[in-house]
Amino acid sequence: MRLRTLCCLIGLVSVVLTPGCSNAGQDSSKKRNALTPYTQPMTMVLDSSIDDWPMDRVAVADEYYLYLRFSPGQAISLQSNNESVVVALDIDGNMSTGLPAGELGVDLEITFSPARDDGTPGNGTVITAISPDGERITLAPALLDISVSPSHASDWFEMRIARRTTLKNLLPNEGLFSSGRIAGRLSMFAASGKRVAEAPLFETVLPPASPNPKRIRASIPTKPLGTVRIVSHNVLNGSPLQKPEPFARLLRALDPDIVVVQEWYDTPAEEMASWFNEHLAINGRWRAVTSEGRGVAVISRLDIAPIGPSALLVEARGKERTVRVTPALVESPIGPIAISSIHLKCCGSIGSPEDEQRVIEASAIANMINEQTRDIGPHVRVVMGDFNLVGGKEPLYALARGFDVDGSNATVAEPFVMGDNAMYTWTEPTSRFLPGRLDYAVYSDSSAVVARSFVFDPARISLESLQSLNIEEIDGMASDHRPIVLDLRAP
């Protein structure tokens, strides 16, 4: 049986990697002669969209990152799929180094959804370096600052690989980590190890790499006049109770009016408010609203009251389940805000039982808020939290559809990481999953306007800037999620 070729695996990239599918067998020396180096770095945006990509490129680079884009030909959950997608890179453009593979000397492999040892489909991502003597060595993704977007299912993906590493003598320095030619190929494998699809060779010439990682000198933007600042943060298993200072330093620097949290487990509202009053002293006092939705809460320095039932129950997978949602009503300078902290079902992939449960939960949340706010008059609606979008996007659509106070669709905020050209909210250096976007903010754009939004990750900020903010470099790692900041004003 013939392998599926580029037109299947790479979809519309059939005219991007090379002039076309018919060129899959052309002489590699001719392709190399056709290469032209960039005259200036090309910076891409890791935002789950390929609209910013040049039509004739599948690999581009700036001084900090190599960017790649690819399509498996249909929507899949890239890191939880029945077949593996393998990106094999000859990072120095030298066939004599790494693992011989046709026209490539493969130095680096990125395998999405690697098969398990027993030959069944697996999940996550494995990064493998091939040393100059051919030894295969598994690397933590953080060593190369590798990211992929989107985290939800899609038929197009884009990824980036840092052009600086602390690894010495394991990978060639030429090409990726300095300048020059790189080449690569994408393939797809069944869990049995059989190759089921492959794409033709792609290659490009890289501009000189920066000797330093990308970090910006910047201060956290202050709240614009007439706005309300909301911060959403999954705090990782109630970590502020065991190690309060990292979270307190982050929140003091961000200076929110309202905070919505997830995974702040088993803490009554009074105790949660006390934590804020102790660690974020203000004129006035913080108050908290909790519910039977475990670990989710809304805390505010403005007047706040609970709305809705103490528990939102849904039928999912044959069982009655409590949705992790806490709604509250906050009296703010831009009017009443009906705000909810949510934490949708974890894990799974597109079409999985977990994905179906996320849709059920999101629909129930939207219906509940619509019902509970029907008679309160003009107001702003905001839902923020951990959506766990690792399957389809339908949970997000189910929540936003018709959710605005005027009956139209609500808007999904699109915050970039401050100081970075990427949208991610989750990162864990020791995880088998790559950094991605799990946290979202949905708001009613007929009654509020986003003045500013961003994700804060101290790892992207210069040490001098962090010192001026009284934030330590490792504070962001107190949780595997990074806080989202949303500044809202009246229309």
Tell me the pLDDT of the chain (491 aa) as tens digits.
Answer: 334 443 334 443 332 322 223 233 333 333 333 343 333 566 789 999 999 998 888 999 999 999 999 999 999 999 999 999 999 999 999 998 899 998 999 999 999 999 999 999 999 999 999 987 778 999 998 889 999 999 999 999 999 999 998 887 889 999 999 999 999 999 999 999 999 999 999 999 999 999 999 999 989 999 999 999 999 999 999 999 999 999 999 999 999 999 999 999 999 999 999 999 999 998 889 999 999 999 999 999 999 999 999 999 999 878 899 999 999 999 999 999 999 999 999 999 999 999 999 999 999 999 999 999 999 999 999 999 999 999 999 999 999 999 999 999 999 999 999 999 999 999 999 899 999 999 999 999 999 999 999 999 999 999 999 999 999 999 999 999 999 999 999 99
Pair 402, 411: CB distance under 8 Å: no
Cβ burial of 457 (10 Å; 0-12, 13-18, 19+) is buried
Task: Report how far residue 52's alpha carbon sits from residue 283's, in angstroms, rounded to the nearest whole number.
Answer: 46
pLDDT at 135: 86
Task: Report how far residue 201's alpha carbon sits from residue 179's, in angstroms, rounded to the nearest whole number.
Answer: 19
How many other CB atoms are there within 10 angstroms of residue 275's CB atom? 19
Q: For residue 414, report the phi and psi dihedrals to the nearest 5 degrees.
A: -125, 70
Cα 256 from chain centroid (whole Å)? 22
User: Minimal CA–CA distance to 144: which of 169, 167, 125, 124?
Assistant: 167
Cα separations in angstroms, 415 against 334, 468, 472, 482: 21, 23, 23, 12
Q: Indicate the residue type of 241.
A: L
pLDDT at 132: 74
pLDDT at 316: 81
Task: Report how far residue 1's alpha carbon sits from residue 186's, in angstroms, rounded to the nearest whole number.
Answer: 19
pLDDT at 196: 95
Classify 303 in phi/psi space as left (phi over 0), alpha (psi -120 to 50) or beta: beta
pLDDT at 42: 66
Cα 400 from chain centroid (whole Å)? 19
pLDDT at 41: 61
pLDDT at 28: 38
Task: Report how far residue 261's alpha carbon sits from residue 404's, in angstroms, rounded to the nearest whole number.
Answer: 23
Residues 6+ apart with CB under 8 A from 234: 261, 262, 263, 343, 385, 386, 438, 439, 479, 480, 481
Helix, coil or strand: residue 235 = coil
**What contacts 24+ positions apart, CB below 8 Å, involve 327-330?**
327/291, 327/298, 327/368, 327/369, 327/372, 328/289, 328/298, 328/300, 328/304, 329/304, 329/305, 329/373, 329/376, 329/379, 330/258, 330/298, 330/300, 330/302, 330/303, 330/304
Pair 188, 83: CB distance under 8 Å: yes
Please name the residue that has the structure tokens 């992939």. 349
Pair 52, 164: CB distance under 8 Å: no
What kind and span of H or E run contains 420?
none
Task: Report how far residue 199's alpha carbon sits from residue 8's, in angstroms, rounded to the nearest whole number.
Answer: 9
Q: Indicate the residue type of 137.
A: I
